[in-house]
């Protein structure tokens, strides 16, 4: 009899969700990476709603992962490598609070790991500016419209909106 692994969730906002989803989906142990919205005040927001900057939502991805194959710490470390966590409400050319750097935690253990990684990077002076990443308890996740899901894979494009791809093409 095959046992199904107990999957855990992780939620990250690192700018445009297309590139974040693309990168996380390629990590061994990640079962799925879904683009969506979190951290705002509007119920069931649309992409147009969040682009109008009135809802307070961030573009995020919700990752389902097998903790026996990839640790939450590893996912958080990748998060800090793939974007510039020192930018406030932007990533590269994308400007607005929907592009903020955020980790939404699903447990006290995840909060501790995220805080520990952020503090470690700060103490090691990995970045020349202060880390702006917000770490908060995970709010309701709203799945983005279907045309945002697997955006790069379905269009045959390589991601262009993140600094350091950590799951290189083979």
Helices (H), 28-128: 47-51, 72-82, 108-123
Q: 91 has which bridge partners?
A: 94
Given the residues 8, 11, 15, 16, select the one marked as catalytic. 16
Is 51 a known active-site residue? no
Asked if residue 77 lies in contact with residue 117, where contact means CB atoms within 8 angstroms, the answer is: yes
Q: Which residues, at least 6 apart from 149, have a Cβ–Cβ distance to it below 8 Å? A: 21, 34, 35
Backbone angles phi, psi at 162, to 5 degrees: -135, 150
Active site residues: 16
């Amino acid at each position: 009899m095959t046992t199904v692994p107990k999957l855990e969730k992780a939620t990250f906002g690192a700018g445009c969700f297309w590139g974040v989803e693309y990168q996380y989906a390629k990590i061994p142990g990640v079962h799925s990476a879904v683009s969506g919205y979190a951290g705002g005040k509007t119920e069931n927001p649309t992409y147009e709603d969040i682009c109008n900057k009135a809802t307070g939502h961030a573009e995020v991805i919700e990752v389902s992962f097998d903790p026996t194959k990839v640790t939450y710490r590893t996912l958080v470390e990748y998060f800090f490598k793939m974007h510039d966590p020192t930018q406030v409400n932007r990533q590269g050319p994308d400007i607005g609070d929907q592009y903020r750097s955020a980790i939404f935690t699903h447990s006290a253990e995840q909060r501790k790991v995220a805080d520990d990684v952020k503090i470690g990077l700060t103490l090691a002076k990995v970045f020349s500016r202060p880390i702006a990443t917000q770490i908060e308890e995970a709010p309701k996740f709203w799945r983005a419209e279907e045309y945002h899901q697997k955006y790069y894979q379905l269009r045959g494009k390589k991601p262009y909106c993140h600094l350091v791809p950590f799951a290189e093409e083979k």
